[in-house]
């Protein structure tokens, strides 16, 4: 049995609610989680002025001493070095065995899923990181079906799904996987004491979280021991979701 910690976080290209881009404070928050797997969405690489043209994926991986896999959802020529990219990243403390980028269906903004395989004692674990469509329920339904196929019977799916875990369009995930928040025996979130959303694991918006769109879905063989919504208000417009897992490798 392997015990590991996973965090999923829409980092909003490193810009907090104060409108300031600051990779150092994002790095400090990620380091403080002590997570084995950091699954990040809205990561920029040489994208533009909003993120000071930084290669955020490489900078974060270097600062944290992690292996990096990246999936560009937007990929365009840049004025300077590298390509102008925006997408999903996985930063792993565990050895990275494989990583593949999968284009997801949909008619709006391009969306991708980053499927990475990491080494655990006695085997391997597949983790798919994604960010689903925010405007079209039909697109999300098609994307959720594609994710379920990618996960198969033993893969973890995480990310900003832009829908509540109980939403009809996420039915393909519910058919194969378990929502980590509801499965966790030990939970905590950022809702205020008198909030109607207290204890529901809401992650967005940061000032008054009222929707649970950042999620972790686990297959049989993965047990959730704890789930926490951490305070991301200084660095993003989302809060990160941290889950502690016990994994029987396959």
pTM across the whole model: 0.97
Whether the predicted pLDDT of 152 surpasses 80: yes
List C-alpha distances in Å: 92 to 22, 66, 172. Answer: 22, 5, 27
The tokens describing 165, both together, are 């875990």
Q: Which of 33-42, 113-122, 156-165, 186-195 has the lowest mean pLDDT?
A: 186-195
Nearest to 57 by CA among 94, 30, 19: 30
What is the rounded CA–CA span in Å between residue 137 and residue 206? 23
The whole-number average pLDDT for the span 145-168 is 96
Would you say the C-alpha torsion 244, 58, 76, 42 has a positive or negative sign? positive
The whole-number average pLDDT for the span 183-199 is 86
The whole-number average pLDDT for the span 70-96 is 93
List C-alpha distances in Å: 38 to 68, 71, 200, 219. Answer: 10, 14, 22, 19
What is the rounded CA–CA span in Å between residue 183 and residue 136? 28
Whether the predicted pLDDT of 17 surpasses 70: yes
Task: Write down the number of H helices and E strands in the chain.
Answer: 5, 13
Share of the chain above pLDDT 90, in %: 91
What is the predicted pLDDT for the residue at 112? Answer: 98
Whether the predicted pLDDT of 193 surpasses 80: no
Whether the predicted pLDDT of 184 surpasses 90: yes
Q: Which residue has the tokens 């991301």?
A: 232
> What mean pLDDT is reported for the chain?
95
DSSP characters over 103-143: EPP-SSS--EEEEEEEEETTEEEEEEEEE--SS-HHHHHHH
Contact indicator for 172, 145 with CB cutoff of 8 Å? yes
Whether the predicted pLDDT of 40 surpasses 90: yes
93-145: pLDDT as tens digits: 999 999 999 999 999 899 999 999 999 999 999 999 999 999 999 999 999 99
Whether the predicted pLDDT of 69 surpasses 70: yes
Would you say the C-alpha torsion 202, 219, 102, 26 has a positive or negative sign? positive
- Please report which confidence band the pLDDT of residue 194 belongs to, taking 50, 70 and 90 as the band edges: low
């Amino acid at each position: 049995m392997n015990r590991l910690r996973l965090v999923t976080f829409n980092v909003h290209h490193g810009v907090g609610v104060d409108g300031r881009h600051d990779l150092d404070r994002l790095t400090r928050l990620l380091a403080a989680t002590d997570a084995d797997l950091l699954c990040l969405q809205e990561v920029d690489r040489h994208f533009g002025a909003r993120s000071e043209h930084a290669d955020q994926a490489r900078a974060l991986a270097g600062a944290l001493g992690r292996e990096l896999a990246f999936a560009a959802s937007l990929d365009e020529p840049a004025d300077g070095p590298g390509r102008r990219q925006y997408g999903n990243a996985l930063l792993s403390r565990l050895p990275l065995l494989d990583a593949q980028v999968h284009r997801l269906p949909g008619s709006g903004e391009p969306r991708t899923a980053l499927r990475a395989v990491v080494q655990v004692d006695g085997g391997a674990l597949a983790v798919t990181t994604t960010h689903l469509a925010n405007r079209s329920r039909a697109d999300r339904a098609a994307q959720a079906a594609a994710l379920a196929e990618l996960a198969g019977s033993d893969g973890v799916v995480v990310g900003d799904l832009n829908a509540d875990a109980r939403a009809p369009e996420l039915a393909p995930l519910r058919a194969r996987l378990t929502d980590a928040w509801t499965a966790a025996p030990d939970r905590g979130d950022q809702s205020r004491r008198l909030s109607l959303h207290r204890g529901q694991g809401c992650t967005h918006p940061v000032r008054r979280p009222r929707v649970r769109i950042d999620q972790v879905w686990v297959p049989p063989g993965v047990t959730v021991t704890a789930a926490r919504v951490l305070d991301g208000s200084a660095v993003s417009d989302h809060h990160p979701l941290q889950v502690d897992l016990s994994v029987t490798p396959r």
